[in-house]
């Protein structure tokens, strides 16, 4: 394996784990502090308050997606779902970008969105510690 391939493999793994960590924290928030998730839904998406039970269901669905994403399983589906979730979050925060210097942390969403896009576009090359890549290599050797 060439150094370039090893660097690509490691870079994609680190992007996947970094994005996965952020998504896991947002998922955990739905279980630990569903009131915060309700406030986010109201403030950024303009939707009415929902009961905490709804956020537990959302959290379970999101946890499954994030687990698939972090393990590199069903890459097209899981990477696409994470990309869509993060894009929705990034674009729904548009008001914060208008007053950027009072909301600097919101700008961290943009490089993460770029990482999500890169991971989706390069998903076939994301092989290190990927269930899909392991499954594919087993099929080739069988």
User: What pLDDT is attached to residue 94?
Assistant: 93
User: What pLDDT is attached to residue 142?
Assistant: 67
Given a contact cutoff of 8 angstroms between Cβ atoms, the answer to whether 15 and 119 are in contact is yes
Given a contact cutoff of 8 angstroms between Cβ atoms, the answer to whether 49 and 38 are in contact is yes
Q: What one-character-per-residue DSSP string does the chain give?
A: --HHHHHHHHHHHHHHHHHHHHHHHHHHHHHH-HHHHHHHHHHHH-PPP--HHHHHHHHHHHHHHHHHHHTT-SHHHHHHHHHHHHHHHHHHTHHHHHTGGG-GGGGGHHHHHHHHHHHHHTGGG--TT-HHHHHHHHHHH-
Dihedral sign computed on CA atoms, order 73, 34, 54, 91: negative
CA distance 51 to 35: 8
CB atoms within 10 A of CB 23: 24
Over its length of 142 residues, how does the chain's per-residue pLDDT go in tens digits? 788 989 999 999 999 999 999 999 999 999 999 989 888 888 888 888 788 888 899 999 999 999 999 999 999 999 999 999 999 999 999 999 999 899 999 999 999 999 999 999 999 999 999 999 999 988 888 6
Rounded to two decimals, the pTM is 0.93
């Amino acid at each position: 394996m060439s150094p370039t391939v090893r660097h690509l493999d490691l870079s994609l793994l680190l992007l996947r784990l970094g994005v996965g960590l952020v998504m896991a924290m947002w998922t955990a928030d739905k279980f630990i502090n569903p009131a915060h998730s309700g406030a986010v839904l109201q403030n950024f998406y303009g939707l009415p308050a929902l009961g905490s039970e709804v956020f537990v269901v959302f959290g379970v669905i999101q946890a499954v997606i994030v687990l698939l994403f972090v393990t590199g399983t069903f890459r097209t589906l899981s990477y696409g779902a994470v990309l869509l979730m993060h894009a929705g979050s990034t674009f729904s925060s548009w008001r914060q970008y208008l007053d950027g210097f009072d909301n600097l942390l919101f700008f961290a969403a943009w490089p993460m969105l770029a990482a999500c896009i890169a991971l989706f576009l390069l998903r076939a090359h994301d092989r290190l510690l990927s269930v899909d890549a392991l499954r594919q290599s087993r099929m080739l050797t069988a």
